[in-house]
């Protein structure tokens, strides 16, 4: 067990050795008592270290096997400390966890009751980045019997820490979209008579000729009408792009061609900075909750240069947990997205007509062209809504008058060119029957849910 000298040992060393050493130098007759005093201090320090060598062996620290945290939200970790009869009552404890987990505070002074063999300690921590992390070490320190040494020990922490997206704040922002406080507690009234076939019945005066089933009419030799119902359960799929452009920081999401000279790391956010992919993940989970409240089935597809994960549309708490487990460990890859493979996968797996909400990055012209190459085949079978984040400055040239320097002029020109390219992409998508929306990072979740509810209300699917 490692040990370090304490302040008490340093104090007594200075208090004994310094004056007795000076006294022995000035008065040779006092040399023997002086050496005896210093030798006594040395014997006491060595004896204290020997008897206190196993002082922390009676302390056992137990951690939970799995810890679930929400990003940027404070949570309490329950730590159980077990002690024997000869265990110390005062401890100094520190936890060495991965840098993605912040502790408040990092080191604590703990007083253990002498008559209690088990104590429960609550420690506050905050997850700073999505993902799975393994616990590090628990460091313990206590004083020796005479207080001359600080006895230290390290125990491994066998805890798996999961940091999930924080949905609480987004739920609060979405309450304005519903008439009740609870998310989706009141469904929107759907417009129209419905498009899902229910049954056949005899013709009644007032039925439309479009609703007459002509084969059944010829077979039964009397007019037969079709009855439709509003489709309640529909399939909603969110398709998330986890390629290189999704690794950018949405707070610094600017025009790369102009800003790269001044901010070389603009596409590589700091280790704990949010990324565009994290915004996509949060928006997908919020949409999954909204679809669950509306009675629809929610599915998930993630891709980069290949399809990474596919979860068939379903409902229920277990299904939502499976989607959350698949998303919170998703990280951006330094590759270009392969839309051809994605569309081939969707065409072979999704047979039923579904609402496909793409969360991707089409602010590069080459990627937009690759996305549009085979989109017409997909639009014939499914309803598509394409969503991307708006780069800062991507707007018409004369939108704002605050142009003062030459750099501002070039920046506005770059923004205008990118705005024009995205406008052209929007026209081509709408020509194929797909929707396109350029959103701000903060309003991504409300806008995505509003899109879904509008489609649901109009029965466009």
In a domain, 14, yes or no: yes
Span 60-79, pLDDT tens digits: 888 888 898 988 888 888 88
Domain containing residue 214 = 196-229
In a domain, 190, yes or no: no
How long a stretch of residues is the chain? 461
Domain count, the chain: 4
| Claim to verify: residue 330 and residue 393 sit in the same structural domain | yes
- CATH number of the domain to which 272 belongs: 3.40.50.410
The dihedrals phi and psi of 100, each to the nearest 5 degrees, come to: -75, -10
Model pLDDT, residue 256 = 44
Q: Which residues contact 381 (CB under 8 A, 6 or more apart)?
A: 347, 350, 353
Span 372-394, pLDDT tens digits: 887 888 888 889 999 998 887 78
Which CA distances in Å does 81 have to 2, 142, 347, 458? 21, 14, 56, 59
Span 405-425, pLDDT tens digits: 888 888 888 888 888 888 898
In a domain, 44, yes or no: yes
Q: DSSP letters of 265-290?
A: TTTS--TTS--HHHHHHHHHHHHHHH
Count Cβ atoms below 10 Å from residue 202 Cβ, excluding itself: 10
Q: Which residues contact 388 (CB under 8 A, 6 or more apart)?
A: 359, 360, 361, 362, 363, 422, 436, 437, 438, 439
In a domain, 179, yes or no: no
Angle between helix 365-372 and 339-349 (nearest 10): 30
| Claim to verify: residue 393 and residue 291 sit in the same structural domain | yes
Among candidate residues 164, 187, 218, the one where a domain is terminated: 164
Say how many Å lie between the first and final Cα of the chain, rounded.
Answer: 68
Q: Are 231 and 196 in contact (CB under 8 A)?
A: yes
Which CA distances in Å does 309 have to 135, 319, 333, 382? 27, 14, 14, 20
| Claim to verify: residue 329 and residue 275 sit in the same structural domain | yes
In a domain, 410, yes or no: yes
| Claim to verify: residue 296 and residue 440 sit in the same structural domain | yes
| Claim to verify: residue 336 and residue 216 sit in the same structural domain | no
Count Cβ atoms below 10 Å from residue 95 Cβ, excluding itself: 22
Is pLDDT at 233 greater than 80 in this prediction?
A: no
| Claim to verify: residue 343 and residue 271 sit in the same structural domain | yes
Can you tell me the distance from the alpha carbon of 268 to that of 285, in angstroms, rounded to the nearest whole number?
25
Can you tell me the distance from the alpha carbon of 425 to that of 445, in angstroms, rounded to the nearest whole number?
22
Model pLDDT, residue 181 = 45
- CATH number of the domain to which 68 belongs: 2.60.40.10
Can you tell me the distance from the alpha carbon of 16 to that of 37, in angstroms, rounded to the nearest whole number?
7
| Claim to verify: residue 397 and residue 270 sit in the same structural domain | yes
In a domain, 177, yes or no: no
Mean pLDDT, the chain, whole residue set: 82
Task: State the DSSP H helix or E strand holding residue 20, giving kind and residue range, or none if neither.
Answer: helix 7-26
Is pLDDT at 203 greater than 70 in this prediction?
A: yes
Q: Are 112 and 88 in contact (CB under 8 A)?
A: yes
Can you tell me the distance from the alpha carbon of 352 to that of 234, in angstroms, rounded to the nearest whole number?
10
| Claim to verify: residue 404 and residue 439 sit in the same structural domain | yes
Is pLDDT at 311 greater than 90 in this prediction?
A: yes
Q: What percent of the chain has pLDDT over 70?
A: 87
Is pLDDT at 56 greater than 70 in this prediction?
A: yes
Task: State the DSSP H helix or E strand holding residue 409, giving kind and residue range, or none if neither.
Answer: helix 406-431
Cis peptide before 20 (omega within 30 of 0): no
| Claim to verify: residue 33 and residue 140 sit in the same structural domain | no
| Claim to verify: residue 220 and residue 240 sit in the same structural domain | no
| Claim to verify: residue 222 and residue 251 sit in the same structural domain | no
Model pLDDT, residue 300 = 94
Span 324-340, pLDDT tens digits: 999 988 889 989 999 99
In a domain, 369, yes or no: yes
In a domain, 173, yes or no: no
| Claim to verify: residue 281 and residue 409 sit in the same structural domain | yes
């Amino acid at each position: 067990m490692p040990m370090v000298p304490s302040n008490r040992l340093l104090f007594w060393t200075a208090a004994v050795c310094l004056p007795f050493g000076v006294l022995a130098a000035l008065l040779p007759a006092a040399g023997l008592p002086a050496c005896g005093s210093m030798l006594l201090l040395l014997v006491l320090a060595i004896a204290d270290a020997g008897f206190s060598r196993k002082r922390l062996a009676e302390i056992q620290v137990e951690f939970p096997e799995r810890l679930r945290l929400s990003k940027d939200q404070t949570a309490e970790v329950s730590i159980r400390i077990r002690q024997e009869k000869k265990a110390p009552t005062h401890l100094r404890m520190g936890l060495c966890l991965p840098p993605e987990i912040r502790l408040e505070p990092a080191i604590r002074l703990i007083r253990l009751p002498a008559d209690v063999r088990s104590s429960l300690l609550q420690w506050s921590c905050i997850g700073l980045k999505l993902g799975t992390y393994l616990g590090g070490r628990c460091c313990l320190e206590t004083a020796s019997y005479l207080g001359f040494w600080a006895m230290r020990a390290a125990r491994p922490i066998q805890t798996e820490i999961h940091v999930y997206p924080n949905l609480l704040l987004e739920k609060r922002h979405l309450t304005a979209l519903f008439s009740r406080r609870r998310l989706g507690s009141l469904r929107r009234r759907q417009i129209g008579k419905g498009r899902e076939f229910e049954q056949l019945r005899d013709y009644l005066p007032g039925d439309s000729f479009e609703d007459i089933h002509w084969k059944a009419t010829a077979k039964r030799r009397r007019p037969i009408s079709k009855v439709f119902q509003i489709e309640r359960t529909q399939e909603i799929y969110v398709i998330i792009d986890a390629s290189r452009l999704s690794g950018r920081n949405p707070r610094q999401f600017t025009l790369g061609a102009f800003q790269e000279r001044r901010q070389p790391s603009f596409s590589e956010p700091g280790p704990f900075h949010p990324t565009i992919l994290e915004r996509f993940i949060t928006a997908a989970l919020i949409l999954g909750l909204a679809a669950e409240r509306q009675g629809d089935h929610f599915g998930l597809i993630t891709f980069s240069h290949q399809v990474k994960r596919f979860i068939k549309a379903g409902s229920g708490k277990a299904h939502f947990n499976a989607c959350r487990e698949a998303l919170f460990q998703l990280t951006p890859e330094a590759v270009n997205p392969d839309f051809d493979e994605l569309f081939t996968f969707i065409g072979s797996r999704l047979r039923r007509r579904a609402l496909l909400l793409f969360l991707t990055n089409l602010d590069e012209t080459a990627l937009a062209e690759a996305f549009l190459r085979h989109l017409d085949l997909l639009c014939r079978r499914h309803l598509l809504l394409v969503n991307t984040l708006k780069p800062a400055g991507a707007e018409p040239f004369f939108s704002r008058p605050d142009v003062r320097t030459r750099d501002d002029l070039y920046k506005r020109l770059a923004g205008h060119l990118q705005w024009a390219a995205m406008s052209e992409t929007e026209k081509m998508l709408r020509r194929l029957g797909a929707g396109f929306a350029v959103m701000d990072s903060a309003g991504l979740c409300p806008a995505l849910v509003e899109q879904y509810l509008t489609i649901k209300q109009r029965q466009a699917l």
